[in-house]
Structure 1
Amino acid sequence: MKLRLAMIGGGVGAFIGAVHRLAANLDGQYELVAGAFSSDAEKSAATGVLLGLDPARVYGSYQQLIEGEKQLPEAERVQVISIVTPNYLHFAPAKMALENGFHVILDKPLTFSLAEAKQLQEIVKASGCLLCLTHTYTGYPMVKEARQLLATNELGPIRKAYVEYPQGWLSKFEEGGNNKQAAWRTDPARSGVAGAMGDIGTHAFNLLEYVTGLQVTKLCADINTVVAGRQLDDDGAVLLKLSNGASAVLMASQIAAGEENNVKIRVYGEQGGVQWQQADANTLLVSRLDQPTEIRRTGTGYVGSFARHNTRVPAGHPEGYLEAFANLYRNFALTLQARAAGTLPPPEALDYPGIEDGVRGMAFIENVIASGKSSEKWTEFRV
């Protein structure tokens, strides 16, 4: 049975709201039945009309949505609320939703600050509800294949990792015009203490910890604001120490002119390494000492259970960003459905980013900005 879904944010003209709706629809696990799509009641109502929703379940605020849905019979009210607002509007609706018994799917980063993230973590624990955080890139089948391969220790202990996220869309002062995305993402009052490091650096950080299975323990950051007049960072590089003693390098830049969204990760163990990039998302390169490089492909019979579980079509049919995004929604749905049935979901279904990933992502933001301002070479990674 489909899970009844509501959405907060994602009104007409919003980029990420449409992506969330496509992801939720792809596997037929959710039905969007309600929403508060904008703080502007008229815009919210107009979005509801476009989506074909019952006008009685299209609300003018997130408070009205949660209060209204809570009054409906349990068999009718929404079960999951997807929050796709800017960073500064994550905490309050997530808190209210959880405290009223609704599961939450939340766009990253988790909150506006680490303090809010820690508070939300306690609310999740107390509520008994679950939270899924949409770190999209962990949803790719071959990212999961890389993680599963490294976890077997087939390539030996991890020694070195490189992760990068280059974009070029903020190479000019876009926030000075009519670019709504640029306006809020570069505004400290709406984005938080970080720009590029919060927006895309958190993706790179999450991907690094996910694929390696290790945690960052120390860092040394060089944080830059390149474009004149910009209030937040738009470029940076970070040296990292991992929990097994290995070292890593992270780069996140939004002023890499000409770049789009080619997230890349390379991880090297004692006996070999793995390489993955979003521009060729169906491919994982596996290299070993004194052997030819192996090319693993999505949809083939030789990949591991996690890659198979997150693949929909046979080899040779490209699966990309929307499918990776949808994998997070599907795995969360499978987990909730198993929970409702009193059964245990398989490990492959439990494989989605959650509250702990969100807290560590917020810790990354605050640690990396502090390190960039510090004169010390290395600073401890504190959560």
Structure 2
Amino acid sequence: QARQMVADGLLGNLRIVQAEYAQDWLTTKLEDTGQKQAAWRNDPAQSGPVGAVGDIGTHAMNLAGFISGLSLKEVSADLTSFVEGRPLDDNAHIMLRYEGGAKGMLWASQVAPGNENALKVRIYGDKGGLSWEQENPNYLTFTPYGEPPRLITRGGAGAGPAAARVTRVPSGHPEGYLEGFANLYTDAAELILAKIEGREPDEGATLVPGIRQGLEGVKFCEAVVESSKKNGAWVKASV
């Protein structure tokens, strides 16, 4: 829904992209207690050169790009390992520059007490803004400039065909995280079947992430690490 509203020009020319993903589960050195999820995520030999950025920061980056339709150009990053002895970052503050002139900021943290899976995105243009958060996925706030905020609910008034395509149950019933995976699997299956059957796939299925999105995530991580090592210097992040 949010992506379609941006594409339809309801926000106007995009100016600002704010994305964040905050958790608190690694506030202490959990990886030393035998907790396997924490152990491999904080082991460079298994997870690579990034911690919180690779684990959750990439989700925020991908979501911001998916909704806005903008291509990331450069990043300026400050990575921190607040927990003593942790070899990988557990907090990141990253400034973003997009192709076309829009600017953004991304915060990824796994040491922010009070946060569980607080993935959020806010996007602002010269005609209005919108905000969405994963922990309350059925609600999208849209504010045209100079007007009161409008709450768009999943399956409710104001939700368009793009949202209806992936809505399964009547409005008012909770739907979100697990159904999101089902949508991805369904669209991937549609792309495979269309190829086998020699036909064009359902247009909505083409939104499923592919190899390019994976490459963008890897490039983002590499650029963030390089920038932080250079004291926040701007580093190319485009694929």
Give the TM-score range, shorter chain. over 0.9
Asked if the contact 2:94–2:106 (Cα under 8 Å) also holds between the matched residues in 1, the reply is: yes
TM-aligned CA deviation for residue 378 of structure 1: 1.9
Runs of 5+ consecutive residues of structure 2 not aligned to the other structure: none
Q: Match of 1:350, SS?
A: helix
TM-aligned CA deviation for residue 301 of structure 1: 5.6
Match of 2:225? 369
Coordinate RMSD, CA, aligned: 1.1
Match of 2:141? 285
Higher relative contact order (CA 8 A, sep 6+): 2
Match of 1:357? 213
Alpha-carbon distance in 2 for matches of 1:301, 1:339: 36
Asked if residue 215 in structure 1 is aligned to residue 60 in structure 2, the reply is: no
Query: Which of these residues, 10, 19, 33, is aligned with residue 163 of structure 1?
Result: 19
TM-aligned CA deviation for residue 258 of structure 1: 2.2
Which structure's CA Rg is the greater one? Answer: 1
Q: Match of 1:155, SS?
A: coil
Equivalenced residues, count: 239
Alpha-carbon distance in 1 for matches of 2:190, 2:156: 23
TM-aligned CA deviation for residue 349 of structure 1: 1.5
Asked if the contact 1:158–1:267 (Cα under 8 Å) also holds between the matched residues in 2, the reply is: yes
Letter of the 1:210 partner, please give it.
F
Letter of the 2:116 partner, please give it.
E
Q: Identify if the C-alpha distance between structure 1 residues 365 and 291 changes in structure 2 by more than 3 Å, giving closer, same or farther.
A: same
TM-aligned CA deviation for residue 339 of structure 1: 2.0
Match of 2:177? 321
Match of 2:97? 241
Alpha-carbon distance in 1 for matches of 2:235, 2:87: 24
Q: Match of 2:207, SS?
A: coil
Q: Match of 1:332, SS?
A: helix
Match of 1:330? 186
TM-aligned CA deviation for residue 376 of structure 1: 5.4
Query: Which of these residues, 123, 128, 149, is aligned with residue 272 of structure 1?
Result: 128
Q: Structure 1: which 4+ aligned runs deviate by more than 4 Å?
A: none
Asked if residue 188 in structure 1 is aligned to residue 44 in structure 2, the reply is: yes
Match of 2:236? 380
Alpha-carbon distance in 1 for matches of 2:232, 2:111: 26
Asked if the contact 1:285–1:294 (Cα under 8 Å) also holds between the matched residues in 2, the reply is: yes
Asked if residue 252 in structure 1 is aligned to residue 111 in structure 2, the reply is: no
Query: Which of these residues, 85, 98, 117, is aligned with residue 229 of structure 1?
Result: 85
Q: Match of 1:296, SS?
A: strand
Alpha-carbon distance in 2 for matches of 1:181, 1:376: 29
Q: Identify if the C-alpha distance between structure 1 residues 295 and 213 changes in structure 2 by more than 3 Å, giving closer, same or farther.
A: same
TM-aligned CA deviation for residue 226 of structure 1: 0.4
Match of 2:9? 153
Runs of 5+ consecutive residues of structure 1 not aligned to the other structure: 1-144
TM-aligned CA deviation for residue 264 of structure 1: 0.3
Asked if the contact 2:78–2:231 (Cα under 8 Å) also holds between the matched residues in 1, the reply is: no
Alpha-carbon distance in 1 for matches of 2:31, 2:225: 21
Match of 1:345? 201
Q: Match of 1:280, SS?
A: coil
Letter of the 1:335 partner, please give it.
L
